[in-house]
Amino acid sequence: MTIRQLRNYIDGRFEDGVSTFDKRSPVDGRLIARVHEAGRDQVDRALRAAQRALPAWTALPVAARTDYLLALADGISRRFDDFLRAEIGDTGKPVGWAGEIDIPRGAANFRAFAELARTLDMESYMTDTPDGRQALNYAYRKPLGVVGVISPWNLPLLLLTWKVAPALAFGNTVIMKPSEVTPSTATLLAEVADQAGLPAGVLNLTHGFGPDSAGEFLTTHPDIDGITFTGESATGAAIMRAVAPGVKPVSFELGGKNAALVFADADFDAAVEGVTRSVFANCGQVCLCTERVYVERPLYERFVEALAARARAMRIGWPMDPDTEMGPLVSREHREKVLSYFALARQEGATVVAGGGIPVFGDARDEGAYVQPTVWTGLSEQARCIKEEVFGPVCHVAPFDTEDEAIRLANDTRYGLAAAVWTQNLARGHRVAQAMKVGLAWVNCWFLRDLRTPFGGSGLSGIGREGGRHSLHFYTEPTNVCVKL
Ligand code: NAD
């Protein structure tokens, strides 16, 4: 089998890096690609190319610019199977999930932001002036400039395009730095851009790691105009320090320790199914996944048993098998982290109701990064396993007695990303959802997204919101024009 070479894309050309590193499959450990790491000089050249391309890109009529975005969306759709194989190869995620979520949403991001850019209105005010006349104020929006997009490994194409699409739509040029763990779909996106005839320098790709590599070279570059980042909270803090000297704008979508609240009046089956999905989807590796479940006491025992039964029955397997519900974690390294929390939970006094270990297959998958879907009970609310993000297929379930207590427990975290409320009492659903200290609160659903809505978190979960016109606000800067009439 030939090993794919994943190169950088700078100023409209594919380039080797200064060194290469291996990308291995999380399913069976086999080598699947060699990735070309960009050096400091290459990141600098990408930035210069993006600067050169900026004036013409910004000056394009919106219709022409957004036509390019639609061409990128079409390019992804046309090469759907290539993207699907690349995403599954990098992550091991089940074909059902990648085929329904990652790849379609990757294309949808370009369509949604093309549509938004075409239909935007402009903020304006008529102002009375002391001489009895008026002034017209309007906020004329200009692109930030050259934007660095740094993305994680859990939803690689979806989260990359979620930022690349609005940046391009609103007239910026871009340098992408995808996760070193999942470099394949970003490379395909560069190929699609090349085939779509996107002008050289508008969209660049530099591969590599964070510290002392492409990530750091980008964030510390004095001429980058803004950084949009999705990843761990600690990395966000490092990037914030890196951009501080230049006071560059940042948009951060970071970690979570999300709660689900299940009230006794919930539709039981829907709540069990919904929480099962929110805990175990993508092997628990979605920033929005639930890691803390609070259940009203009359329902508690029954709910724990039903959730544990779903976890034990979960079909773990080959990603290309359409019956597979859960694939491996993204890498052996990440599995070490998740297993360390499995051990810590036992030390902290957890009862392991389901899972807690590594599945044994007796085939090549034993070389992969699989873990069992896991359910804990009995931990103190102060336990590290309740406070820290695990980012694996695991949750803790605890009982509560009153609505106030449920709200207090859910909000007792330094993160503030997402929450899900399960109840058939409409007023309570609104009330509790509004009381959640999070950027996204779902009632009787989870991960249901409208791309026009604000997305992001507070506290350790991030800074700012993207989505719809919230993206406009990050990727552009207004000049207020005041005209005396
Ligand atoms: P990570 O922070 O390790 O890496 C993310 C990206 O940052 C990678 O491209 C990496 O190379 C780069 N990077 C690392 N250190 C850097 C540095 N010093 N300077 C510049 N770049 C650097 O995150 P991850 O492990 O890839 O992703 C998982 C994390 O992402 C979880 O914490 C998850 O909750 C979070 N996440 C958040 C959201 C959200 O929308 N809030 C979405 C998905 C994932």
* N- to C-terminal Cα separation, the chain: 71
Q: Which helix (H) or strand (E) holds 215?
A: helix 214-219
Catalytic site positions: 253
The answer to whether 386 touches 377, Cβ cutoff 8 Å, is no
The answer to whether 152 touches 127, Cβ cutoff 8 Å, is no
- Determine the Cα–Cα distance for residues 223 and 217; give it in Å rounded to an integer: 11
What Rg, from alpha-carbon coordinates, does the chain have?
Answer: 23
Taking alpha carbons only, the member of 455, 435, 465, 414 closest to residue 258 is 414
What local confidence, expressed as pLDDT, does residue 1 receive? 63
Taking alpha carbons only, the member of 320, 244, 312 closest to residue 280 is 312
Closest residue CA from atom 43 of ligand 1? 287
CB neighbours of 436 closer than 8 A, spacing ≥ 6? 259, 407, 410, 411, 419, 421
Q: Is the CB of 160 under 6 A from ligand 1?
A: no
Where does residue 89 fall: left (phi above 0), alpha (psi -120 to 50 degrees), or beta otherwise? Answer: alpha
What local confidence, expressed as pLDDT, does residue 2 receive? 77
Six-digit token pair at 330? Answer: 């993204």
Q: Which of 93, 154, 177 for mutating ligand 1's site (highest number of atoms within 8 Å of CB)? A: 154
- Determine the Cα–Cα distance for residues 252 and 466; give it in Å rounded to an integer: 9
Q: Is the CB of 440 under 6 A from ligand 1?
A: no
Taking alpha carbons only, the member of 368, 282, 352 closest to residue 30 is 368
Taking alpha carbons only, the member of 340, 473, 319, 318 closest to residue 394 is 340
Q: Which of 232, 449, 471 for mutating ligand 1's site (highest number of atoms within 8 Å of CB)? A: 232
Q: Is the CB of 159 under 6 A from ligand 1?
A: yes
Where does residue 231 fall: left (phi above 0), alpha (psi -120 to 50 degrees), or beta otherwise? Answer: left
Amino acid found at 37: E
Beta-bridged to residue 36, according to DSSP, are 20
Six-digit token pair at 481? Answer: 């024009």
Rounded to 10 degrees, the C-alpha dihedral 436/438/440/442 comes to -30
Taking alpha carbons only, the member of 466, 406, 463, 402 closest to residue 436 is 406
Global pTM reads 0.96
The one-digit pLDDT tens for each residue of the chain (485 residues) are: 678 999 999 999 999 999 999 999 999 999 999 999 999 999 999 999 999 999 999 999 999 999 999 999 999 999 999 999 999 999 999 999 999 999 999 999 999 999 999 999 899 999 999 999 999 999 999 999 999 999 999 999 999 999 999 999 999 999 999 999 999 999 999 999 999 999 999 999 999 999 999 999 999 999 999 999 999 999 999 999 999 999 999 999 999 999 999 999 999 999 999 999 999 999 999 999 999 999 999 999 999 999 999 999 999 999 999 999 999 999 999 999 999 999 999 999 999 999 999 999 999 999 999 999 999 999 999 999 999 999 999 999 999 999 999 999 999 999 999 999 999 999 999 999 999 999 999 999 999 999 999 999 999 999 999 999 999 999 999 999 999 99
Taking alpha carbons only, the member of 413, 416, 373, 418 closest to residue 395 is 373
The answer to whether 485 touches 136, Cβ cutoff 8 Å, is yes
The ipTM assigned to this model is 0.96
Q: Is the CB of 287 under 6 A from ligand 1?
A: yes
User: Hey, is 469 helix, strand or coil?
Assistant: helix
**27 phi, psi to nearest 5 deg:** -80, -45
Closest residue CA from atom 39 of ligand 1? 253
**Separation in Å, CA 39 to CA 19, 28, 160, 206:** 8, 30, 21, 9
The answer to whether 327 touches 93, Cβ cutoff 8 Å, is yes
Rounded to 10 degrees, the C-alpha dihedral 279/107/58/236 comes to 20
Cα 447 to ligand 1 centroid, rounded to whole Å: 20
